[in-house]
A = this chain, B = another copy of it.
Amino acid sequence: MDIEKFSSMDFGEFVDVFGNVIERCPLIAAAVWSQQPFSDLEDLEKHFFAFIDALPQSGQEGILRCHLDLAGSELQRPLTAKSQREQSGAGLTSLGADERLRLVELNAQYRARFGFPFVLAARFSDRTAVPRELARRLLCPPAQELRTALGEVKKIGSLRLADLLRADPAKL
């Protein structure tokens, strides 16, 4: 998709295409549309990130709470297609019973401590690194952990934006 294409989309189309750059937060894409036109991918990305950074803390935590647990036990809420692909690529959808139980326990501790789920750009990780990173971040101070987690949200968003801009619009 070239830059002219996404810089001239009407807001309905823009939200349809970019609504899940930040997981389950079409509001953010819908707000970013106000900043059209965009000069390039970096410019578009910058507006997504600036919106996140300007939210009050409850809103930033809210973004994290729109994510599901990595390799989560919450099977009643299905993963979005993008999230499914990302977790599958990291081997998280085919864990053994012990690995899965360990992740479920760590996720529960993390949620209880911080009030939001553990978020990690799964495409940069794998099934052995995820529980190690989760255990490490579980010990971080809450303010630092919020910044780390939002950094992961931005990495995920960057990857999704790059995928979308590489994609054939007819296949979106």
Report the nearest B residue to A69, measured CB to CB: B12
Shortest beta-carbon distance, A22 to chain B, in Å? 8
Interface residue A30 (Cβ < 8 Å from any Cβ of B):
yes
Known contacts being A26-B66, A63-B27, A115-B11, is A58 close to B35, with CB within 8 Å? Answer: yes
Q: Are A54 and B56 in contact (CB under 8 A)?
A: yes
User: What is the CA–CA distance of A74 and B13 in the complex, to the nearest angstrom?
Assistant: 10
In the assembly, how many copies of this chain are there?
Answer: 2
Contact B27 A28 (CB under 8 A): yes
- Minimum C-beta distance from A113 to chain B (A): 13
Task: Tell me which residues across on chain B come within 8 A of A51, comparing CB atoms.
Answer: 56, 58-59
The interface on chain A, measured as residues whose beta carbon lies within 8 A of the other chain's beta carbons, has a size of 35
User: Nearest Cβ distance between residue A108 and chain B, in whole angstroms?
Assistant: 10
Chain B residues, Cβ within 8 Å of A11: 65, 111, 115-116
Interface residue A34 (Cβ < 8 Å from any Cβ of B)? yes
- Sampled A-B contacts (10; CB under 8 Å): A12-B65, A12-B77, A16-B77, A24-B26, A27-B27, A30-B62, A31-B61, A31-B62, A34-B62, A51-B59
Kindly list 8 other residue pairs between chains A and B, CB separation below 8 angstroms, not including A24-B26, A30-B64, A34-B57.
A10-B111, A11-B65, A11-B116, A25-B26, A27-B62, A28-B62, A31-B56, A32-B62
Across the A-B interface, the 8 shortest Cβ-Cβ residue pairs: A31-B62, A30-B62, A30-B65, A34-B58, A31-B58, A31-B59, A11-B65, A27-B62
Hey, which bits of chain A sit against chain B, CB under 8 A? 10-12, 15-16, 24-35, 51, 54-59, 61-66, 74, 77, 111, 115-116
